[in-house]
């Protein structure tokens, strides 16, 4: 591990806090040190308050901030003197401690200070850095880890046995630090948890961290426990979307809500899942207790969720409280699944949650493999992990919660998604928390959105192979298809029936009807497994109830698609799948309506462009956003008891009314 310190950048920092931000972000950019909000940093400064009095302030990373992206407002300014006074108390509950921390900040808008605030306050150094360095935690998670760490670091570090973060840890650190620290001490190791470094300036503290971690990495390398081979996956993956959606359906039932299930495709994950001893090594525990909240204490091996639930409860059985409240709060749904065929699968209430699980467990696999070479993987016992699982501070977060987005944990597939109504539908569903699989012929569909909830796939709906691949890809990324929005279609040039060729008729029918029929047929087994029941929205047209001259092929194709929707509402109702149609009209913010065409059409009717756009009973203009919002609403619980409906989105059309 090498220092990334750049003195040219550091010289532009005008204060200790700015240097704290800079060095914190250096740590946060390395996932082998800090992963998804982990780690902690602080700096002690002297400031003058409104009364003109100088006081010592501890700036410490606030709750909810990530070291990789932290800014100055992410550090909570806490008065140092009260923290030192608290350290002399005999006991302090976690809720009491949090209350004391919150009431000692100097800025009302500051984030909640870290639960390690008192610990940082007690360390007699201006800068304190704390990471969960993979190499150090790997060493401590072995049978003789403490001995190895003592031999490696000697007097350079103070070694603290594992204690859950909070007041008790702070008091023990104060005691042991006073007993063990000397002039050579530059850091501190919390066994099974992480490593601290400190110094009088930002660079010193940062580079001490790099030095200590580099020593651990070199030690693992010397012991033949650093470099790991990885067998690359070869060959095309076997279609498994039906197995995946069924697994997700069961997983969601256990969790009591729709879950995202990401089949990661990790070569290392697949290799690990196929280890002969995976059951033995993987179910000993996580790399650090901090990860229990994200990944659960142990992964599921295979796909038997009932067996996993029993095993998970048995894992904690000696420590599980008799309180029914705690028992019901214990979520038995796994977050990590290791399957011989699927490999590493990661679950979460949202796409971002599943992604965090993936990143954490990739690191966990590496740590386990290295520890096995170093004498055997031996994380904390179940008792300590149980304490984290039921930590009152974490349980308070769960209770506080908040209302999640309406489609959180659910997946929608949208066709014709690169422009017009389809593009607007992508935005509307993303805004409601859905994961979106967007299909379009336009290759730019892959770049339409930068959200982790978005997967754009170039796809020719005429090709059964392309459709199959798109469904497989979408299911592997998110776990299933809950909602289907059929928007792709074409509006051919105006042609009277007398001049309509067979070729043009078949072309329109193939795109507007046949391709949708095939996609519906292929999606049916997936929609059946939707945790909240499947939903389909057909994008019809005003031309269904009120056709016009010159649009025979388009009108007939949309009418046939609508009739197909009605038939499927009858056939699929028994599976709880509901299908509804929208009939938009005069939606002018799409690619086919240029200013020239609008001007020509308006003149034809003797209207201005503005009058032409709002030429309906309500006198309103219809936008793609309007249609998209109603499409999303149709998939929401508002319409949970509605199927086979046909809803106009036209501002009121005399011919339809």
Averaged over successive runs of 10 residues, the pLDDT of the chain (657 residues) comes to 95 96 96 87 94 94 93 96 92 89 94 93 96 95 93 95 88 90 94 94 97 97 91 73 97 95 95 94 86 83 90 65 47 91 96 94 94 91 72 62 88 96 98 98 96 97 95 98 95 88 94 96 98 97 92 94 98 98 93 81 89 94 97 97 97 93
415 lies in some domain: yes
SS3 575: helix
CATH number, domain at 301? 3.40.225
- Nearest to residue 584, comparing CAs of 563, 558, 609? 558
At residue 492, the pLDDT reads 81
Tell me: do 549 and 599 sit in the same domain: no
Rounded distance between C-alpha atoms, residue 254 and residue 209, angstroms: 42
At residue 590, the pLDDT reads 80
Tell me: do 162 and 306 sit in the same domain: no
Rounded distance between C-alpha atoms, residue 301 and residue 276, angstroms: 12
Tell me: do 441 and 537 sit in the same domain: yes
DSSP H or E stretch at residue 119:
helix 117-122
Tell me: do 601 and 639 sit in the same domain: no
- Tell me which of 400, 419, 446 is where a domain ends: 400
- Nearest to residue 333, comparing CAs of 313, 352, 316? 313
390 counts as catalytic: no
Q: What is the bridge-based pairing of β-strands 157-160 and 646-649?
A: unpaired
628 lies in some domain: yes
604 lies in some domain: yes
Main-chain dihedrals φ then ψ at residue 47, nearest 5 degrees: -130, 155
- Nearest to residue 514, comparing CAs of 486, 494, 485, 483? 486
Rounded distance between C-alpha atoms, residue 411 and residue 272, angstroms: 28
Rounded distance between C-alpha atoms, residue 417 and residue 122, angstroms: 56
Rounded distance between C-alpha atoms, residue 93 and residue 168, angstroms: 9
- Tell me which of 345, 376, 400 is where a domain ends: 400
Tell me: do 446 and 554 sit in the same domain: yes
Main-chain dihedrals φ then ψ at residue 480, nearest 5 degrees: 175, -175
155 lies in some domain: yes
579 lies in some domain: yes
Tell me: do 24 and 149 sit in the same domain: yes
CATH number, domain at 183? 3.40.225.10
Tell me: do 482 and 471 sit in the same domain: yes
Specify whether the CB–CB gap between 526 and 411 falls below 8 A: no
300-301 β-sheet, strand order: 260-263, 343-348, 336-339, 300-301
545 lies in some domain: yes
Q: What is the 3-state secondary structure (H, E, C) of 409-420?
A: CCEEEEECCCCH
236 lies in some domain: no
Tell me: do 509 and 612 sit in the same domain: no
CA torsion sign for 292, 307, 361, 430 is negative
Tell me: do 344 and 493 sit in the same domain: no
Rounded distance between C-alpha atoms, residue 547 and residue 564, angstroms: 18
654 lies in some domain: no
Tell me: do 349 and 368 sit in the same domain: yes
CATH number, domain at 642? 3.40.50.720
Tell me the residue length of the chain. 657
Rounded distance between C-alpha atoms, residue 559 and residue 547, angstroms: 10
Q: How many domains does the chain have?
A: 4
Structural domain boundaries, residue 370: 241-400
Tell me: do 395 and 495 sit in the same domain: no
Tell me: do 272 and 304 sit in the same domain: yes
At residue 398, the pLDDT reads 56
Catalytically annotated residue among 276, 554, 605, 612: 554
578-584 β-sheet, strand order: 454-458, 435-440, 411-415, 483-486, 535-539, 578-584, 646-649
């Amino acid at each position: 591990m090498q220092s990334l310190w750049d003195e040219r950048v550091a010289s532009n920092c005008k204060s200790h806090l700015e240097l704290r931000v800079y060095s914190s972000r250096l740590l946060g950019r390395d996932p082998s040190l800090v992963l998804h909000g982990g780690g902690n940093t602080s700096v002690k400064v002297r400031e003058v308050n409104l009364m003109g009095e100088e006081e010592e302030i501890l700036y410490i990373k606030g709750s909810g901030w990530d070291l990789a992206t932290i800014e100055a407002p992410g550090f909570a300014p806490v008065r140092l003197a009260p923290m030192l006074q608290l350290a002399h108390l005999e006991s302090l509950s976690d809720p009491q401690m949090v209350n004391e921390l919150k009431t000692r900040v100097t800025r009302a808008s500051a984030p909640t200070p870290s639960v390690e605030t008192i610990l940082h306050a007690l360390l007699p150094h201006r800068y304190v850095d704390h990471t969960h360095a993979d190499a150090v935690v790997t060493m401590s998670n072995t049978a003789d880890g403490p001995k190895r760490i003592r031999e490696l670091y000697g007097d350079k570090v103070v070694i603290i046995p594992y204690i859950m973060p909070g007041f008790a840890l702070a008091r023990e650190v104060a005691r042991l630090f006073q007993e063990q620290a000397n002039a050579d001490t530059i850091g501190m190791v919390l066994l099974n948890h992480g490593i601290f470094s400190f110094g009088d300036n930002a660079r010193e503290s940062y580079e001490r961290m790099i030095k200590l971690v580099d020593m651990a990495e070199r030690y693992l390398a010397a012991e033949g426990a650093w470099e790991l081979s990885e067998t690359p996956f070869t060959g095309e993956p076997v279609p498994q979307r039906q197995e995946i959606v069924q697994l997700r359906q069961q997983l969601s039932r256990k969790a009591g809500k729709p879950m995202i299930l990401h089949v990661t495709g990790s070569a290392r994950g697949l290799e690990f899942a196929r280890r002969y001893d995976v059951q033995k090594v993987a179910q000993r525990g996580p790399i650090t207790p901090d990860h229990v909240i994200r990944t659960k204490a142990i992964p599921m091996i295979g796909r038997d969720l009932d067996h996993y639930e029993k095993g998970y409860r048995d894992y904690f059985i000696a420590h599980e409280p008799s309180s029914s409240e705690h028992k019901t709060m214990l979520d038995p749904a796994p977050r990590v699944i290791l399957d011989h065929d699927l490999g590493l699968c990661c679950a979460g209430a949202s796409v971002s949650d599943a992604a965090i699980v993936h990143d954490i467990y990739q690191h966990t696999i590496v740590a386990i493999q290295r520890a096995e070479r170093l004498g055997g993987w031996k994380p904390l016992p179940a008792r300590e992990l149980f304490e984290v699982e039921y930590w009152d501070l974490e349980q308070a977060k769960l209770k506080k919660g908040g209302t999640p987005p309406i489609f959180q944990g659910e997946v929608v597939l949208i066709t014709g998604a690169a422009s017009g109504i389809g593009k607007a539908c992508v935005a509307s569903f993303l805004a409601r928390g859905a994961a979106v699989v967007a299909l379009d012929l336009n290759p730019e569909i892959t770049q339409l959105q930068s959200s982790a909830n978005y997967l754009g796939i170039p796809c020719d709906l005429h090709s059964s192979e392309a459709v199959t691949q798109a469904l497989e890809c979408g299911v592997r990324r998110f776990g299933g298809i809950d909602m289907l929005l059929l928007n792709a279609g074409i509006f051919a040039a105006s042609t009277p029936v007398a001049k309509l060729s067979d070729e043009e008729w078949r072309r329109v029918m193939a795109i507007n009807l046949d391709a949708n029929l095939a996609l519906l047929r292929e999606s049916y087994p997936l929609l059946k497994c939707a945790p909240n029941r499947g939903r389909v929205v057909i994008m019809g047209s005003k031309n269904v109830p009120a056709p016009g001259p010159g649009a025979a092929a388009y009108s007939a194709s949309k009418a046939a698609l609508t009739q197909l929707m009605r038939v499927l509402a009858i056939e699929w109702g028994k599976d709880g799948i509901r299908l509804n149609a929208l009939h938009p009209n005069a939606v002018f913010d799409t690619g086919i309506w240029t200013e020239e065409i609008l001007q020509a059409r308006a003149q034809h009717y003797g209207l201005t462009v503005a009058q032409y756009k709002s030429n309906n009973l309500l006198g309103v203009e219809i936008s793609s956003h309007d249609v998209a919002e109603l499409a999303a609403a149709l998939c929401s619980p508002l319409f949970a008891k509605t199927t086979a409906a046909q809803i106009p989105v036209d501002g009121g059309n005399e011919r339809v009314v």
